[in-house]
Amino acid sequence: MQTPDILILLEEIVEKVWRLEAFLTEIESISVEEDKELIQFYRSQIRGLKQRLEDPITEIREGQEDFREYLRTYFDVCSHFQTMHQQFWLFVSLPKVYPEVYTFVHSLFPRNQFEDVEPTLVYCPIYNFGEANAIDQFSKLGIFLDKGAGDRVILLLPYVDFRNPMMWTALAHEMGHAIEKDKGIVGSILPELPGRKELEPLRRWLKEFCADHIALRLMGPAYLISFISYIISLHPYFYVPTLTHPQPHSRIEYMRTYLERNCLFHPKAQHYYELFQELTAFYKVSKFDLQQLPTEITSPCPTCKYEYKMKLPESLKRFPELIHQLNEQVNSISFPDVCGTEDLRRAEKLAEDLDHGFFISSYKETTMGEIRHHLNELLTQNTPGQANREEIYSVLKLIEDKPNKVSQIINAGWIQKINRQIDKFQKIFEEDDSILEEKFNTFGNYLESISYNIQKSIETSKIHSLFAPGEKQ
């Protein structure tokens, strides 16, 4: 593992610690008396996490490349981060979910097309995204609602990602679960049979791949990168298949294959892909082939002498033959804005604008140089007052901005992060004349600016699309 990969890891955990603190600051701004003592306790815990990261950052800055100790520190801080995140439910005051999150979801799954899967969002104490169904949840409590009134999908959003739009791509995956259930995709491939519980793990794996496929179609490589960003916050000991989820390796390879097949695998995604591969190789995580799944898996615990053991049902061996049917059904779903190669080309240009501090809600199809050329042609070919209305408006139309798609904005965010944010992180923490807290604050202000511009770009592009002639609404 080379130093740049260590920088990605350190940037990831520094960003998570800062977002933990940012959420705490948001709580503090609306807190009641009962919260104040708890806020001070958590601030002291966050200071401790920052101090844990000071030595690795300093040593890497000085050219140290032995990463073993860094990985131990990294996963220790990740573990503390997740523990603190789980305890945020203790606060009486919690900030409201930002409206841009709803705009993001509704842009991908418009109400007029997916009226049966109307979403709402709530915070998730565990650092994870999730999806639940209101009717199902109430029925478990013995309260049965009228399905004719419409189904309400509950999306679970981690506290710290309440204003981190680049991680909202996971919500496309969670909405994918709701779409799958609404359309009965897995049920049509693998019907539920009374008394056949051994089929349930296979059914759950198919549901995960279905949701992944939907998120990929809508978000392209941004979903793959955000998925790996989340996965590497967990210790590689957990990178094993379970009865509810396939192994992360299988999902990542599936995503990469899809993206490459559709010419959507962006070179910047390679950085995160290789980082995941290097982590699993270092911790000697066994990769299980979906074509030849074992009947039992074992994985050593990193902190004790015990091993994790689990038996896999024989039904999972049917997975390879069913995944093709699943892909065909997902590809047949009509979505208003599927991510394509042109979207990634535009995202490249938008990433440059984002890095310069601009909103990236819209774009011009014609460059200013081309517009000036057409104006000069119009003026030289016609004497004053001779140009007809059609000629004038043909030039004016070139000045018109068009709204960007959500997938273009989010992919631009990830491209900008890999292109410049890692370098920015390194430069800020290389400064010798500032203390650690100041470096965290400087980097945090930078992150806040980027996140704000992406959020507002999502909102503004939606407003723009409502007024743009010929645009989808």
Mean pLDDT, contiguous 10-residue spans, the chain (473 residues): 68 95 95 92 95 83 68 91 94 92 95 88 94 74 61 89 96 96 93 78 95 97 97 92 93 97 93 92 88 80 67 87 93 93 95 94 80 75 66 73 94 95 89 84 95 96 80 50
Tokens of 151: 């189904």
Predicted pLDDT of residue 368 = 72
3 state SS for the chain: CCHHHHHHHHHHHHHHHHHHHHHHHHHHHCCCHHHHHHHHHHHHHHHHHHHHHHHHHHHHHCCCCCCHHHHHHHHHHHHHHHHHHHHHHHCCCCCCCCHHHHHHHHHHCCCCCCHHHEEEEEEECCCCCEEEEHHHHHHHCCCCCCHHHCCEEEEEEEHHHCCCHHHCHHHHHHHHHHHHHHHCHHHHHCCCCCCCHHHHHHHHHHHHHHHHHHHHHHHCHHHHHHHHHHHCCCCHHHCCCCCCCCCHHHHHHHHHHHHHHCCCCCCCHHHHHHHHHHHHHHCCCCCCCHHHCCCEEEEECCCCCCEEEEECCHHHHHHHHHHHHHHHHHHCCCCCCCCCHHHHHHHHHHHHHHHCCCCCCEECCCCHHHHHHHHHHHHHHCCCCCCCHHHHHHHHHHHCCEECCHHHHHHHHHHHHHHHHHHHHHHHHHCCCCCHHHHHHHHHHHHHHHHHHHHHHHHHHHHHHHHCCCCCC
- What are the structure tokens assigned to 448, written together? 């806040």
**Predicted local distance difference test score (pLDDT) of residue 395:** 72
Reported pTM: 0.90
Provide the CB-side half-sphere exposure for 309 (13 A, CA): 4
pLDDT reported for residue 473: 46
pLDDT, residue 289, reads: 87
